[in-house]
Amino acid sequence: MTDENSSLFQSLQHSLVELTVAYDSTVEAFSRALEMREGEPIGHTHQVTEVAVNLAKVLGVSTIDLAHIRRGALLHDIGKMGIPESILKKERQLDKEEMAVIRLHPQYAYDLLFPIVFLHPAIDIPFCHHERWDGSGYPQGLKGEQIPFSARIFAVVDVWDALISNRPQRKAWPEDLAIDLIREQAGQQFDANVVDAFLNRKIRKKVTKPFV
């Protein structure tokens, strides 16, 4: 390779790194905007993202795929941008019609993200993390290993975090009760192998530094 070609190659690599950093900064900004709209504590999405990445590492996910999981986790609820705030922040139990509206958010996420080629490998989490191992989830009713692995990983983390966090309709659960429920749902709602890995307390360590 000539000096000129080598310089051009290095310049292209540098530009690619800068572009990737810019994309990731945009993804993080989207996640913070969604937290603000839903009234979530700043850093909440960062925490579930870090726990999901920790779990994925234990399960042997490659470094490249970890980056896609991070982006997908940050954007896991981006489809809720299409859900009325009156439903998202309702303090009473949602009725059937409202639940039907909530269940549209994975499809909204897919429709929003699919035109962005850079995010194609990250779409599985926003689109599929409400699928269930037994096939009773949504939006597609996928079952077992039909569900993308990244979505099976994030599903466990998402439910754990939802249970131990205050929500408009209920108070947070003690973590030991949340873990009991997740253990009970292994092989039903969740991939049992993912649950086994998640039971390692070190994976669930608190993340205290939000994105800046």
Write down the pTM of the prediction: 0.85
Q: How far apart are CA 27 and CA 72, in angstroms?
A: 9
The tokens describing 118, both together, are 């850079």
DSSP three-state, residue 184: helix
Q: Where are the domains of the chain?
A: 26-204
Q: How far apart are CA 47 and CA 194, in angstroms?
A: 18
Burial class (CB in 10 A: 0-12, 13-18, 19+), 130: buried
Cis amide prior to 106 (ω within 30 degrees) = no
CATH of 26-204, one of 1.10.3210.10, 3.40.190.10, 1.10.10.10, 3.40.50.1970: 1.10.3210.10
Per-residue pLDDT of the chain (212 residues; tens, 9 = 90+): 566 556 654 655 555 555 666 677 777 777 777 777 666 656 678 889 999 999 999 999 999 999 999 999 999 999 998 999 888 888 888 899 999 999 999 999 999 999 999 899 999 999 999 999 999 999 999 999 999 999 999 999 999 998 998 776 778 899 999 999 999 999 999 999 999 999 987 777 655 444 33
Nearest to 105 by CA among 181, 37, 26, 207: 37
